[in-house]
Structure 1
Amino acid sequence: MIGQRKDDHVRLAAEQQRAHSGSNQFDEVSFVHHALAGIDRPDVSLSTAFAGISWQVPLYINAMTGGSTKTGIINRDLAIAARETGVPLASGSMSAYFKDPSCAGTFSVLRTQNPDGFVLANVNATASVEKAQRAVDLLRADALQIHINTVQETVMPEGDRSFSSWVPQIEKIAAAVDVPVIVKEVGFGLSRETVLTLRDLGVRVADLGGRGGTDFARIENGRREFADYAHLHGWGLSTPASLLDTRDAGIPVLASGGVRNPLDVVRALALGASGVGVSGGFLRTLLDDGVTALIAQITTWLDQLAALQTMLGAPTPADLTRCDLTVHGDLRTFCIDRGIDTRSLARRSRSVGAPDELMGSTR
């Protein structure tokens, strides 16, 4: 039954990606164009560092799947793509492995096919410390994701209905495992209040996992006999909203959810993300066109990230946080309601000594 559920998730996620309208709140974030801000391409680095973690690129393949024969093949191909492009790679939830150790290979393939890459294990917030460490050990993982997904569990026919243990259990795991712990949402976003709580629990990094990409409320509702949770489709905070809400929350954040292209990656980095994860879009490419096409897509994205940093005058991904941004539409309304100052984003290059001649008439 677990393997069938994992296969259903992949099938429904791919169908959702193919049917997606293409728009989300990343479209409500724009760069202020400074025509003389550009720098030289050889001066640009894609490397990023946060919470003691160093990546050569700010892009990663985020958690997807594992636990069945079909999903094991997907994980094999994702690992090959990560190996060939140098991007970090996260496992899907490893709960299936704890229930049926015979499916371990559908997860460990992430390491066997990618022996030198940065790999993240993945457990849920009810996992014991012992299981969390087993997940890390199986993948020889460099970090551990704990996914939180109350909305998905609520809609899932066989999902959990008890959530009060999550906070103390996250704290126990964060204190016990021997790798950095990253807590991630699965597509409904993390608020400032949540990230502050995670910080106080000892979590090193938060993956915001916002609305805008794969909607697991819609997926789980598609598995229900009467599809009676349609009112929860679209629930949650978008990834840009989460980024704006969690600015200066005290721990590094990663951005995932609804990332469609290299411009969205740069937008997320400019809003403060230390790295940006993609799941659904890469899954669609892999299933439709194969691993060679996915490698080509990731390679193109990395090349375009460097090109956009060059154009924007950002030698590193972290330097994108000095670029001027405007926020508009419903995202701006959200910021007003949450007391978030967006006007300063449009003028922040002035505060870091940008030369007058680059700013022209914007002063």
Structure 2
Amino acid sequence: MIAERKDDHVRLTVEQQRRHSGQNEFDDVTFVHHALAGIDRSDVRLATGFTGFEWQAPLYINAMTGGSVNTGVINRDLAVAARETGLAIATGSMSAYFKDESSAGTFSVMRRENPDGFIMGNINANASVDDARRAVDLLQANALQIHLNVIQETAMPEGDRSFSAWAPQIERIAAGVDVPVIVKEVGFGLSRRTIATLRELGVRAADVGGRGGTNFAKVENDRRNVADFAYLNDWGLSTPACLLDAQPAGIPVLASGGVRNPLDVARSLALGAAAVGVSGGFLRTLLDGGVEALITQISTWLDHLTALMTALGARTPAELAACDVLIKGELRAFCAERGIDTRSLNSRSEHLEPTQSTTGSAR
């Protein structure tokens, strides 16, 4: 039953990606163009570090799947793409492995294909500390993701209905494993209050997992005999809204959810993200064109991100957080209601020291 659900998730996610309008609240974020801000491309470095992590680029392949024969093949190909492009990568939820150890290979294939890469396991907030350790051991994981998905569970026919134990269990897992814990949403966003709570629970980083990409309320609603949770399809906070709401977060914040292209990566970094994750868009490329197509896409994204940073005058991903941006539309309205000052973002480069780059400063 779990394997069938995992295959359903992949099928419905890709169908949703193919039908997506392509619009989301990233379109409400615009860089202020400074025609003399550009620097030499040779001075740009994509490497980034946070919470003790050292990544070759501020981009990672985020949690997707695992638990069935078909999804094991997908994880193998994703791991190859990560290995060939130097990206960090996360498995999908490992709940299937905890219930049936015969599915272990659909997850451990990532480490077999990517022996030196940065790999994150992924578990739910109901997992025991022992299960969390099993996940880390199986993957020789560098970090552990815990996903939050209360709206998905609510719409899921066989989903959980009890959530009060999640926070204390996250605290126990964070204290009980030997690798950093990252908590992520699956597409409904993390508010500043949630991120503050996660910091208190000992979580090392938060992946906002905002609305705008794969919609798991719709995925689960499409699996129901009667699609009676359709009113949840627009639930949640967008990724840009989460990033603006989170500051100052006190822990590194990662961006995922609705990231469509290298410009969205740059926008996320400019709004304070330490790194940016992609799932659905990469999955569609893999299933439509194969692993070589995905490697080409990722390589192109990294090349384009370097080009954008060159034009914006950002020598490092961190320096994008000092570039001037304009916030408009629904995102601006959200910020106004939440008391977030957006006007200061459109002229922050004017306050840099003379020795700093025209539009950027390292964190």
TM-score (norm 2): 0.98
Aligned to 2:284: 284
The yes-or-no answer on 1:165 pairing with 2:165 is: yes
- Per the alignment, residue 4 of structure 2 pairs with 4
Measure the CA separation in 2 of the matches of 1:195 and 1:33.
32
| Secondary structure, counterpart of 1:300 in structure 2 | helix
Residue 357 of structure 1: CA displacement?
A: 12
| Offset of residue 249 of structure 1 | 1.4
Cα deviation, 1:318-357, whole Å, max 9, x if unaligned, reads: 0001100000000000000000000000010011136999
1:47 maps to 47
Contact persistence 1:35–1:358 (CA under 8 A): no
Counterpart contact for 2:314–2:357, Cα < 8 Å: no
In structure 2, C-alpha distance between the alignment counterparts of 1:41 and 1:195, rounded to whole Å: 35
Q: Give the match's secondary structure for 1:4.
A: helix
Letter in 2 for 1:139: L
Give the Cα–Cα distance (whole angstroms) in 2 for the partners of residues 6 and 61 of structure 1.
18
1:94 and 1:41, CA in 2 relative to 1: closer, same or farther beyond 3 A? same
Correspondence 1:19-98 to 2 at 5 A: 19-98=19-98
1:297 counterpart residue number: 297
Q: Give me the whole-angstrom Cα distance separating, in 2, the residues matched to 1:200 and 1:347.
A: 33
For residues 155 and 220 of structure 1, the distance between their equivalents in structure 2, rounded to whole angstroms, comes to: 6
Instruction: Quote the residue 1:123 is aligned against.
Output: 123
Identify the residue that residue 100 of structure 1 maps to in structure 2: 100
Q: Could you list the per-position Cα deviations for residues 19-44 of structure 1 after superposition, in whole angstroms to 9, with x for gaps in the alignment?
A: 00000000000000000000001110
Structure 2 distance, partners of 1:81, 1:59, is 13
Summarize the Cα distance change of 1:270–1:258 in structure 2 as closer, same or farther, 3 Å threshold.
same
Name the counterpart of 1:330.
Answer: 330
C-alpha separation between the residues in 1 aligned to 2:137 and 2:358?
51
SS in 1 for 2:67: coil
Counterpart in 1 of 2:215?
215
Letter in 1 for 2:298: I
Q: 1:177 to 1:357 in 2, by over 3 A?
A: closer
Kindly indicate whether the alpha-carbon contact (under 8 Å) linking 1:83 and 1:117 is maintained by their aligned counterparts in 2: yes
**Unaligned 5+ residue runs, structure 2?**
none
Identify the residue that residue 232 of structure 1 maps to in structure 2.
232
Aligned residue in 2 for 1:316:
316
Partner of 2:255: 255
Cα pair 2:69 2:106 within 8 Å, conserved: yes
**1-side partners of 2:159 and 2:356: how far apart?**
57
Tell me the amino acid that sits aligned with residue 137 of structure 1: D
**Do the aligned partners of 1:148 and 1:186 also contact (CA within 8 Å) in 2?**
yes
Q: Secondary structure at the match of 1:93?
A: coil
| CA apart distance, 1:176 | 1.0
Aligned equivalents of 1:290 and 1:354: distance in 2?
A: 48
Cα distance in structure 2, aligned partners of 1:47 and 1:254: 15
Q: TM-score, normalised by structure 1?
A: 0.98
Distance 1:357 1:45, change over 3 A: closer
Q: CA RMSD in A?
A: 1.3
Amino acid aligned to 2:70? K
3-state SS of the aligned residue for 1:73?
helix
State percent identity of aligned pairs: 71
Moved over 4 A (4+): 354-359
Which residue matches 2:269? 269
Structure 1, unaligned runs of 5 or more: none
Provide, for residues 288-322 of structure 1, a one-character-per-residue CA deviation record: whole Å limited to 9, x for no partner: 11100000000000011111111100000000011
The number of aligned residues is 359
